[in-house]
Amino acid sequence: MNLVVALVATEIGLTKQQILDSVSGYRQRAGARSDALDKMFERDKDELRALGVPLETIPSSTDPNDLREARYRIPKSEYLLPEDIAFTPSELAVLSLAGDVWSTGSLSADARSGLRKIRALGIDVDEPILGFAPRLTAQDPAFAPLQAAIEASRVVTFDYLKPGEDRAKRRTLAPLALVEYEGRWHVYGRDLGAGADRTFLLSRVTGEVVAERETFDPADREGAGDRALAGLEALAARQRALVEVTPGSEGELRLLRRATPARQGHLVSYVDRHIFADELASYGPEVRVVEPPELRDAVVERLRAAAAVHEGDAS
């Protein structure tokens, strides 16, 4: 923190020696070996950059290769919020809580930068946050490499296994957005093999996501998340299941939140038939699928498979 304050406060930057001589935390170790202080400074620089702090190195005008005369600074324009943006204490409390909800590994570089700027305001949040902050993490192994590829505008390849297929197929994708829908993460982008925009369920990505050297225009990411969600919502609107649910059951509590009443039971929209069949089968006799027949058959198939596995349990 002392290093950040010092580097934000200077316009022309500080040399490494000036930092070691004047910044609290270094000057108290004046008796330490110079190589130990150098390593400490290099480690601190790496940590600041990993935290998203825009640490800038300004080469010496006389010798650009002489790092002893290079200057370091943190541009205020990149570190602090614009002067025309202000938050009330209540808004700061919500933003801080939202930042705490996400684990560091799931937070994008842009989001980490925004959270850092908010905390850099130095305003005391006097609105109490009661209870606890839930932790939201993306469990799919593909999430982190896809997020990194999106931020770097890098094309990726991965194997994708669709239901009913025996082998995964190799996909080449320009990933534009990661979106959460119905509690599951999807990646949306340009499928270079198909020559069309596609949305893939992360849980069906098998193996490693590989970032290729090929890049794409970062401008393509603009509005991609909205387009992905609109596509998923349109698909769900076209696919509706008529179900009968036992009153007072867990199935009723979970399904009726997203259902509309019908003359016989309730209509529930869904995106993926196989995933929805898994969910409906998990409720057992609490839910009965009236239509469509292919969804009903998928649920029956899962229930029969479960019964076959437990056939010998009673004995």
For the sheet with 196-201, list strands across it.
196-201, 184-191, 169-181, 154-160, 205-215
Q: Is residue 233 part of a domain?
A: no
User: Quick one: 65 and 100 in the same domain?
Assistant: no
pLDDT on residue 100 = 59
User: Quick one: 104 and 152 in the same domain?
Assistant: no
pLDDT on residue 207 = 86
Grade residue 96 by pLDDT with cuts at 50, 70 and 90.
low
Q: Is residue 230 part of a domain?
A: no
Q: Is residue 25 part of a domain?
A: yes
User: Quick one: 302 and 244 in the same domain?
Assistant: yes
CATH number at residue 171: 2.30.30
More confident residue, 63 or 186: 186
User: Quick one: 98 and 84 in the same domain?
Assistant: yes
pLDDT on residue 89 = 73
For residue 140, what is the enclosing H or E element?
Answer: none
Whether residue 71 contacts residue 12, with contact meaning beta carbons closer than 8 Å, is answered with yes
Number of domains forming the structure of the chain:
4
Structural domain ending residue among the three candidates 79, 96, 114: 79
Mean of the per-residue pLDDT values of the chain: 81
Q: Is residue 296 part of a domain?
A: yes
User: Quick one: 221 and 271 in the same domain?
Assistant: no
Q: pTM score, two decimals? A: 0.56
User: Quick one: 259 and 213 in the same domain?
Assistant: no
Structural domain ending residue among the three candidates 191, 225, 259: 225
| Dist. CA 259–CA 257, nearest whole Å | 6
pLDDT on residue 313 = 58
Structural domain ending residue among the three candidates 79, 98, 116: 79
Q: Is residue 232 part of a domain?
A: no
pLDDT on residue 181 = 86
pLDDT on residue 221 = 92
Domain of residue 94: give its range.
80-137
HSE-up of residue 229 (Cα within 13 Å, Cβ side): 9
Grade residue 123 by pLDDT with cuts at 50, 70 and 90.
very low
* DSSP reduced 3-state for 58: strand
Whether residue 270 contacts residue 236, with contact meaning beta carbons closer than 8 Å, is answered with yes
| Dist. CA 288–CA 300, nearest whole Å | 10
